[in-house]
Amino acid sequence: MSLYMRNKFVPELKDTSSKRPPVILVHGSSLSATPSFDMQIDGLPDYSFMDWLARKGWDVWTLDHESYGQSTKTDSNSDVACGVEDLKEATKVIAEVTGKLQFHLYGLSSGALRATSFAQAQPDQVVRLALDAFVWTGEGSPTLTKRREGVEQYKASPRRQIDEAMIASIFTRDEPGTSDPRLIDACAKMQLSYADFVPTGTYLDMTTRLPLVQPENITAPVLVVRGEHDGIATMADLLAFFEKLPNGDRQFSVLAGLAHCTPLGLRRHVLWQTVEDFLRVGEAEQGA
């Protein structure tokens, strides 16, 4: 089994990036790494979070989790626990390439659960942790209430079918008009070029096994960020998690005009800048 990994940096800014922890972007349940974080669209520029961070002097990495995208398709349902193991392997590769043993992590949706679970399991490796479209207990979540209708199917098969309509719904289910229709179409076509299915594991985790992490166990500084219209979690659920975080270096941000897929929304730059500002906190003290 092999994992697809992707890395971007600007060579002219290598002196800056070499002083910083590498940034790992962790994808969610239905879109793999490249559609989530490195979209290149003719006539519709500036949709790559990876490119944007690289231009800011970061060494940026992402990966397709097992059975997603360009990684090996297996019989695994690629649940959150599997994602943690993927991240353990990915960080070994990044350490070999960069010599760095600590990392910043940004996770989107179930990628936030993967990133948080990794931070809980490997606390010494995580410098700063950004959680976007995160869900803790799932109580009161409109999205998860609807998703629970498919629990028996998630239990019965490690794979679920996807099509253009399903992918489009990720962008429109909470608040239509927060993403460009051309972007949605391009994103769906790219994802479906890999396969017409994705694993069921994170859906099963999010509908039957929450909470997967305990905030008291997350020692790194944390950013909890959400789109204004995101239905994956209630504000009460996120604030309850946030209040229990032990590190005083923590931030909570709600971004107007965005829904679930914040890195691909019309106002994506607000999310990008919020994350980058959080990652840069403390650089002056560290001499970066």
Cβ within 8 Å of residue 45, ≥6 positions away: none
Q: pLDDT higher for 184 or 16?
A: 184
Decide if pLDDT at 285 tops 60: no
**How would you label 191-210 residue by residue, b for 16+ Cβ within 10 Å and e otherwise?**
bbebeebbbbbbbbbbbeeb
For the stretch 185-201, pLDDT in tens is: 999 999 999 999 999 99
Q: What is the mean pLDDT of residues 131-139?
A: 98
Quick one: pLDDT at residue 56? 97
For the stretch 141-179, pLDDT in tens is: 999 999 999 999 999 999 999 999 999 999 999 999 999
Going edge to edge, which strands form the sheet with 250-255?
A: 5-8, 60-63, 23-26, 103-108, 126-132, 222-227, 250-255
Provide, rounded to the nearest whole percent, the portion of the chain with pLDDT above 70. Answer: 98
H/E element, 78: none
| Domains of the chain with CATH codes | 5-286 (3.40.50.1820)
Name the residue among 258, 272, 265, 270 with its Cα closest to residue 227: 258
Q: What is the DSSP letter of 263?
A: G
Name the residue among 147, 262, 135 with its Cα closest to residue 203: 147
Question: What tokens were used for 133?
Answer: 């479209």
Decide if pLDDT at 287 tops 60: no
First to last CA, the chain: 37
